[in-house]
Amino acid sequence: MAERLVTFEKEGAIGVVSLRRPEKFNALDIPMLRALETALDEAEMADGVRVVLLRGEGKGFCAGGDVEAWGAMSAADFQVQWVRYGHRVFDRLARLRQPTIAVLSGHALGGGLELAVACDFRVAETHIKLGFPETSIGVVPGWSGTQRAVRRFGAQTVRRMALGGEILLAPEALALGVVDRVAETGNGLVEATAWAEKIAERGPLATEAAKLMIAVAEGEESAAATEALASGFIALTGDLKAGVDAFKTRQKPAFSRT
């Protein structure tokens, strides 16, 4: 059986999603995106997982989209199979129920930075570089680099990277709010894990609800978040049980305000 390109592992209350294409600096192609989507589904459904770390094996976090994967695509395929599908997977990450931390132990450029931006937090090792260099090869950030990144970091910071071609080092990225913490080289996973353990100690339902409410305020999602919060509230009342029991026994439900 071939080794999976992206894996999910549970370590107590912490889940770890690992990009496993180190020979390509974890560059993303369609098989990688599919594997990432599957791993995120596993993380979402994992019982007891309260925080999810996203990391890359080898020397790079993620080099972005693999040029060899999309370079020969037709315009139609590039739009649908590459950009739109990539958006769907990145949105899946952004809307994961658990808080997420990107562990940047290697460079995060282009789509790699967009992937990190889809996480709630970013821990960067001091030596890494971050940026949106796409315009240097005649394309634009296509997986939310001009949308989600602007909402989270501000338009001017994104202009500097996407238009001006600036590559940020971790300390400057920290000052601009692009990353949340900087760790010494080789210590990123340790720092992120310690932070995740503290987050995991907080009330899990309250943490998930707070994440949803922030997503609504940020414009990340609204309709789905509203319905999820309302449905979760109803599920904690007696109404759901009364309704289900009545359905099973073919009787009229006896609702109460408890």
Residues marked as catalytic: 114, 134
The residues, any chain, with a CB within 8 Å of residue 217's CB and separated by 6 or more, are none
CB-CB contact of 25 with 68 (8 Å): no
The CA–CA distances, whole Å, from 190 to 59, 105, 194, 197, 205 equal 16, 11, 6, 11, 25
Provide the angle, in degrees to the nearest 10, between the axes of the packed helices 223-235 and 204-218: 160
Tell me how many degrees the CA angle 130-210-201 measures, rounded to the nearest 5.
85
Cα-flanking dihedrals φ and ψ of residue 161, to 5°? -85, -45
Distance CA 251, CA 245 (A): 8
